[in-house]
Chains A and B, each alone.
Chain A
Amino acid sequence: MEQGELILKLRGVSKQFGAVTALKDIELDVHAGEVVALVGDNGAGKSTLVKTLAGVHQPTSGTIEWCGTPVTLDSPGTALALGIATVFQDLALCENLDVVANLFLGHELNRWALDEVEMEVRAWTLLQELAARIPSVREPIASLSGGQRQTVAIARSLLLDPKIIMLDEPTAALGVAQTAEVLNLIERVRERGHGVILISHNMEDVRAVADRIVVLRLGQNNGVFTAETSHQELVAAITGASENSVSRRMARKQGEVA
């Protein structure tokens, strides 16, 4: 994959849930070796967009182009096969299965006689690459903490060597060190030439790694920014006005200090 090559191109993608328009005429480009951050307020349609790209929801209208050819992402399997891996906000892990089983779910080695030893070795290798602290890969997921589950979910998305990784709020449940690990990880993935779509409410994380910041507001595109954009400008784009609750709060605080 050539660095900078256009992998994913969305034009006019809309999604309706009954009377509700969750996405309207969304445009989005993702290139190889690029981190695109997707930001927006609650209900802006970020998760819906991610689920559309992951094949969980089907768009009502619009086109999705993958490496120049229009594609229909009619099931999660199709998206995975193309090379779109997703770490969902709710992680989507099976609590009754152990870490190895979850990592390889749907892509087990040797389908008629599961190769548990090889799977376990690869699981440990991958987890160590991510500097993950998982006590045992043979315990059910139910016994892991939130951060450990997050790591397992990210590790799973990397297992198939996808072209694009979508991370929906990957750092929300993580501690300081693990957050830094995940950000390092995102940069490592970018260096390997993958495209990354990052969704986060944490502007610090977003500005730390993102090449472009795409703002969604009420299900529509509301501007594309870079990491150099000021905080106020971003917040204004997210909330839709330069006069908003964040700026008012900031002004009030500054008034108190003065």
Chain B
Amino acid sequence: MSGAQLDRADTRVRHDEGLSGALRAFFDRVRSGDLGMLPVFIGLLLITLVFSSLNPVFLAPNNLVNLLFDAAAIGLISLGVVCVLLLGEIDLSIGSMSGLSSALVGVLWVNSGLPMLLAILGAVLAGAAVGFIYGFLRNKFEMPSFVATLAGLLALLGLQLYLLGATGSINLPYTSPLVKFGQILIMPAWLSYLAAILPGALMVFSGLKTLKRRRDANLSSPGLSVLLVRAGVLTVALIGCVAYLEQGRGVPYMFGVFTLFVVALDYALRRTQWGRSMFAVGGNAEAARRSGISVKRIRLSAFMLCSSLAALGGVFAASRLASASQQAGTGDVNLNAIAAAVIGGTSLFGGRGSAWSALLGIIVIQAISNGLTLLNLSSSLRYMITGGVLAIAVIVDSLARRSRASHGRA
């Protein structure tokens, strides 16, 4: 390489090269409060240790397959929550929205005889409309999303009860593809393994391309070894997970679809102008506005996305339970979806987070819920423990934020 690299002119900065450098940079980040996904992995490890020692069934492959089946619906809802949290907003009506959406599917499809896909589309569009109203209230009247969505929580629940009427619940036909999707459909083994290999392969492919472009542009690059090790670790871990699940029934389609949504949102947030604008609005809305970003449009998109994903999550939940009932979307759905996003590392204060936090967070929540169910503990205790975990997650978030501030890392 000839001459000083474009980004290596300043001699005051320590540059972390190669594998050891990458490790050192990682430890530096964690020490300054940039925890990322670390708390989740530690939490999952603890949960696994505790529950598997209390009841070995917890780690049985088929129990984990069930766990993934259960995680998909609330995971999708949580994915929407990530979007509003990134802006420093909140949506408290996601549970009601998911319940309303399952009721809509029941009424439109089973009672009115509309095609299934059309009914699902209708439910998701209803979600988008509700999100539009929240965004409008926030933009036009500066109504805090906390209040608007709290009102929505009650209104949507009322609409759900009204739609379901006196009977109170609609059973979905057991032989329908929707119920099969939520209860028995498993990805074929080859597809699961392919899905496990693909991320690592893509990582190497795009990583090599970036490396070459950076070198051509006379910029420093983190080095090939780091890239290969990261891709290798990821691939081995994913194949290990799939192989373990294949000992049981395998990877549910439902979870596969959820993961696809996570990947799509992750791309949108990290690699598109829309995603960059989301982070900017969450970090400093006024600065974003003065940069020419339409803050109102970004807000509107986030609320609409959140409610739409909540509606789709409601469809998933209905397919899992094979019914649309008055109980759908009530109880701990709201709290679990928000908790999952926060536990996964999306900040309540806006401007920090990732789509993956929904996936990791919901696995933590479902693991706790699943483990407690295996121990035959009542839901009363489950609520208390989940509440406690959420509190801990928020405390970790606040402490990390304070530490980042004192280390100059926003």
Residue numbers of A with Cβ under 8 A of B are 54, 56, 75-77, 80-81, 86, 88, 91-97, 101, 105-108, 111-114, 116-118, 120-121, 124-125, 128, 133-138, 140-144, 156
A8 to B81, CA, bound (A): 45
The proximity string for B residues 198-239 relative to A, scoring 1 for CB distances below 8 Å and 0 otherwise, is 000000000000100110011100000000000000000000
Q: A56-B290, A94-B288, A101-B276 are in contact. List 9 more A-B contacts (CB 8 A).
A: A77-B294, A94-B284, A96-B351, A114-B273, A117-B210, A117-B219, A120-B217, A140-B410, A142-B408
A107 to B286, CA, bound (A): 16
**In the complex, number of A-B residue pairs with CB atoms less than 8 Å apart:** 121
Asked, given contacts A77-B292, A105-B291, A142-B408, whether A117 binds B271 with beta carbons under 8 Å apart, the answer is no
Q: Which residues of chain B from 362 to 410 have a CB within 8 Å of any chain A CB? A: 404-405, 407-410
A80 and B292 contact, CB distance less than 8 A: yes
A81 to B279, CA, bound (A): 22
Asked, given contacts A117-B213, A117-B214, A124-B7, whether A108 binds B283 with beta carbons under 8 Å apart, the answer is no
Residue numbers of B with Cβ under 8 A of A are 6-7, 9-10, 12-13, 210, 213-214, 217-219, 271-274, 276-277, 279-280, 282-284, 286-294, 351-352, 404-405, 407-410
B7 and A95 contact, CB distance less than 8 A: no
Nearest-neighbour CB distance to chain A for B339, whole angstroms, equals: 23
Give the contacting residue for A88; candidates B217, B290, B409; CB below 8 A.
Answer: B290
Asked, given contacts A76-B292, A105-B280, A111-B273, whether A92 binds B287 with beta carbons under 8 Å apart, the answer is yes
When C-beta atoms are compared, the residue in chain A nearest to B407 turns out to be A143
Q: Which residues of B are found within 8 Å of A113, using beta-carbon distances?
A: 271-272
A97 and B271 contact, CB distance less than 8 A: no
Q: Which residues of A are found within 8 Å of B282, using beta-carbon distances?
A: 96
Q: Which residues of A are found within 8 Å of B407, using beta-carbon distances?
A: 143
Q: Which residues of A are found within 8 Å of B213, using beta-carbon distances?
A: 117
When C-beta atoms are compared, the residue in chain B nearest to A54 turns out to be B290
B279 and A120 contact, CB distance less than 8 A: no
B276 and A105 contact, CB distance less than 8 A: yes
B292 and A106 contact, CB distance less than 8 A: yes
A-B contact pairs, 28 of them (CB 8 A): A56-B289, A76-B292, A77-B294, A86-B290, A88-B290, A91-B287, A92-B284, A92-B287, A94-B351, A96-B351, A96-B410, A97-B276, A97-B283, A105-B291, A105-B293, A106-B292, A107-B291, A108-B276, A113-B271, A117-B213, A117-B219, A120-B217, A120-B219, A128-B9, A135-B10, A136-B13, A141-B410, A142-B408
